[in-house]
Amino acid sequence: MNNIQIFNIELKNYRQYRGVENINLETTPDKHINVIEGQNGSGKSNLLNAITLCFYDKEPHIDNQDNQGLGADPLVNLNELRQVDVGETVRGYIEITLGKQEPQYVFTRKFRTAKTDEDEYSSITDDLQLRQRFGPDWQNVDNPNIRLREILPTHVHQYFLFDGEQLDQFFEEGYIERVQDAVLDVSHIQLLERAVDHLKSVQKDLEKEASDVEGTPQDLHDEYEEAQKTLEDLEEEEEILEDDISDANEEIEGIDEELSDSTNPDVREKQQRRRYLSERLEDREEELQNAREDAAVALARAGPVAYNKGALEFTLDRFREWETSGQEPPDIPEWWLEQLLEQGRCICGTDIETEQEKRQHLEEFKQTVAETATQSANGKRKVQRALERADDLVDVAKERKGRVEDIRDDIDEINEELREISAELESKNIPDDVDVADLEKQRKRIDARIKDMREELGQLRGKIEQQKEEVEERRNKWKREVEKEKKHDQLLRKIRFVENARDKVESVEAKILDQVRNETETSLENYFNDLIWKEESYDIELTEDYEVHVYGPSGEKKLGSLSAGERQVLALSFMSALSKISGFSAPVVIDTPLGRISSKPKRRIAQNVPNYLKDSQLTFLMTDEEYTSEVQAFLQNDVAHEYHLEYTDEVTEVKNV
């Protein structure tokens, strides 16, 4: 057998099973059916409960004969409990051996019931245990539930281990929802629905993020370009102005040449002197610039010390006062204290070898004195050095300031002399010579214009520097926006990816729903026709809304008009279809499979049962009314094991038939 089967169930003291009961259920492909027969209340449902208790720690199957329900009874056999005193405990277990061709897993759940008072009990179950075969060896497995989930998980076990009699209610009012839930359950549609919901939610988050980083790079680029254009205009103006200045200088040079060609020696001499002074002025102006920079540096160095000189002097006085008054820690050499510690005797005569506390004090004192003395000496030295340096720094600053003033005075003198030369030349009237006065007037006018233009150029260059900063700032702003835009683009791509992925998952979901519905419909129809006792063939439709329609030769048979037996066969077929679609190859155990079916159809169903779920191990828990001699005759060739549950004096014994 390729599907998982139950090889063995062993019960000890479980409910009406007293002592150890061992039920061999091993089947083969030829004989894939087991029958366990017993009258109502003999313990058939509890065999199903034993399986679910062992695997899932649950007992959902209530015996119709037991009106009080399982909760009223202890887990351990009552007769065993009656043998013990109040306060004592009786133990039991359920052990199920599973495998394909040979035993592979042994699942065990132990339980115990304590007798808390006469007729009062308290039961508890232990954790599931598993021994697994690895080659010839059996080993305990740490996580039995994980292995069990691989064989028959909790959520699908109801389609493998079920009570046939209760199935009758499956197709009663409100069945559509039950059918839909079951189909969605076995096909894991929830998985796809969750994926779609989560993709939607992630998409929403991405969209919010994208709106946060949505930039306006084009606007900012326009602003950047505008600033760049202004800069270019200013630089163009600068170039024109520089050309104008250059032209004006050339004009002056032309005038100077004419003046140098004057026949008058005084004019030539003045012109020469002016040339010399102009060159000197240029040099001195450069020197003034450098001297100003040096003076600024010297002032920056001297300033803090000079402004705080009073405070530093006050601090130094305080140091001296402390030193004089003995408030400053004495400059006790560290080596001297070391020596005292080594000798083991303090200067006051205390034996610090025997008095550890005193020794510790001396050690701490050594540490404190050393640190404070060092800090105090360092502090005093630093203040003293700062004060000494203050005077030097102030002297340097004064000296540099003086140099600036000297150069400025020199420049003033040069300018004054140049003005004088100009005035003298302007007043010259020399016959038969160049018109010196007119030339000088022209020169003066041009020189004034050059000065204006230089001033204008200076202002223009200032504007250009500011504009360059503006351009840089706008460029950086634009680039940051571009980065934001890139991030925005990436987020948009992700959003599109999530959107497309969601469409695809939704499409998969729609296809699977359709496929599962079709497969359920096909399996349901096949199983129904395999089991139903009628000669004619039935068509079964499972609509998109999960309604079930049964069509016989004379048309549709309303579900409400189906007999109890037909409804049970329909439910049995539905369970089988679901077990097939679930993808798990587990054994099927059905309690009271033919309970609702009257004798004639029962015989016909029995005739068809051997072909039903042929690849699975089938274990039927049947009443004596179900397992009639006729049913027995139809099944006999396919039955591997047949047991009879004999119930006497509240104890069930499993008898091999």
Partner 1 sequence: MKDSEVHSLILDQTDEIEEDDYRSFIREILKHERTKLDQDRPKYAEKYRSLIDSYATNENLEDYTDE
- The pattern of x and - marking residues 206 through 245 that bind partner 1 according to CB under 8 A reads x---------------------------------------
Binding to partner 1 by residue 483, rule CB under 8 A?
no
Select the residue interacting with partner 1 from 398, 408, 494, 644 (CB under 8 A): 494
Q: Where are the alpha helices (DSSP H) in 187-216?
A: 189-212
Q: Least distance in Å: CB of 199 to partner 1?
A: 7
Residues 433, 262 contacting (CB under 8 angstroms)? yes
Select the residue interacting with partner 1 from 187, 523, 617, 619 (CB under 8 A): 187
Q: Least distance in Å: CB of 155 to partner 1?
A: 8
Strands (E), 118-151: 120-125, 129-134, 137-140
Kindly tell me which of 185 and 426 has the beta carbon lying closer to partner 1. 185
List beta partners, residue 114.
89, 122
Please list every residue from 129 through 168 that binds partner 1, using CB under 8 A: 146, 149-150, 153
Kindly tell me which of 184 and 411 has the beta carbon lying closer to partner 1. 184
Kindly tell me which of 414 and 498 has the beta carbon lying closer to partner 1. 498
| Cα end-to-end span (Å), the chain | 23
Binding to partner 1 by residue 515, rule CB under 8 A?
yes
Rg of the chain, C-alpha, whole Å? 55
Segment 320-324 long-range contacts (CB within 8 Å, at least 24 positions apart): 322/376
Q: Are strands 103-117 and 129-134 parallel, antiparallel or unpaired?
A: antiparallel
Query: What angle (nearest 5°) sits at the alpha carbon of residue 535, between those of residues 531 and 541?
Result: 60
User: What 3-state DSSP class applies to 129?
Assistant: strand
Select the residue interacting with partner 1 from 493, 600, 614, 655 (CB under 8 A): 493
Kindly tell me which of 42 and 576 has the beta carbon lying closer to partner 1. 576
The DSSP secondary structure of 26-82, one letter per residue, reads ---SS--EEEEEE-TTSSHHHHHHHHHHHHHS------TT-TT-GGGS-SB-HHHHH
Q: Least distance in Å: CB of 205 to partner 1?
A: 7
Kindly tell me which of 207 and 630 has the beta carbon lying closer to partner 1. 207
Kindly tell me which of 195 and 464 has the beta carbon lying closer to partner 1. 195
Query: What angle (nearest 5°) sits at the alpha carbon of residue 537, between those of residues 533 and 542?
Result: 105
Binding to partner 1 by residue 98, rule CB under 8 A?
no
Which stretch, 63-71, 199-207, 216-224, 439-447, contacts partner 1 (CB under 8 A)? 199-207
Binding to partner 1 by residue 501, rule CB under 8 A?
yes
DSSP 609: G
Binding to partner 1 by residue 584, rule CB under 8 A?
yes
* CB atoms closer than 10 angstroms to residue 391: 13
Select the residue interacting with partner 1 from 23, 78, 114, 498 (CB under 8 A): 498
Q: Least distance in Å: CB of 115 to partner 1?
A: 37
User: What 3-state DSSP class applies to 427?
Assistant: coil
Kindly tell me which of 202 and 421 has the beta carbon lying closer to partner 1. 202
Please list every residue from 626 through 655 that binds partner 1, using CB under 8 A: none
Kindly tell me which of 195 and 340 has the beta carbon lying closer to partner 1. 195
Segment 180-183 long-range contacts (CB within 8 Å, at least 24 positions apart): 180/546, 182/574, 182/578, 183/516, 183/517, 183/520, 183/546, 183/578, 183/581
Binding to partner 1 by residue 200, rule CB under 8 A?
no
* Packing angle of the helix pair 189-212, 436-531 (nearest 10 deg): 170
Q: Least distance in Å: CB of 518 to partner 1?
A: 11
SS3 of the chain: helix, strand, coil, percent, to 5:
60, 15, 25
Kindly tell me which of 190 and 599 has the beta carbon lying closer to partner 1. 190
Which stretch, 443-451, 496-504, 547-555, 605-613, contacts partner 1 (CB under 8 A)? 496-504
Binding to partner 1 by residue 496, rule CB under 8 A?
yes
Kindly tell me which of 533 and 584 has the beta carbon lying closer to partner 1. 584
d(CA 225, CA 230): 9
DSSP 615: T
- Residues interacting with partner 1, by CB under 8 A? 146, 149-150, 153, 187-188, 190-192, 194-195, 198-199, 201-202, 205-206, 490, 493-494, 496-498, 500-501, 504-505, 508, 511-512, 515-516, 581-584
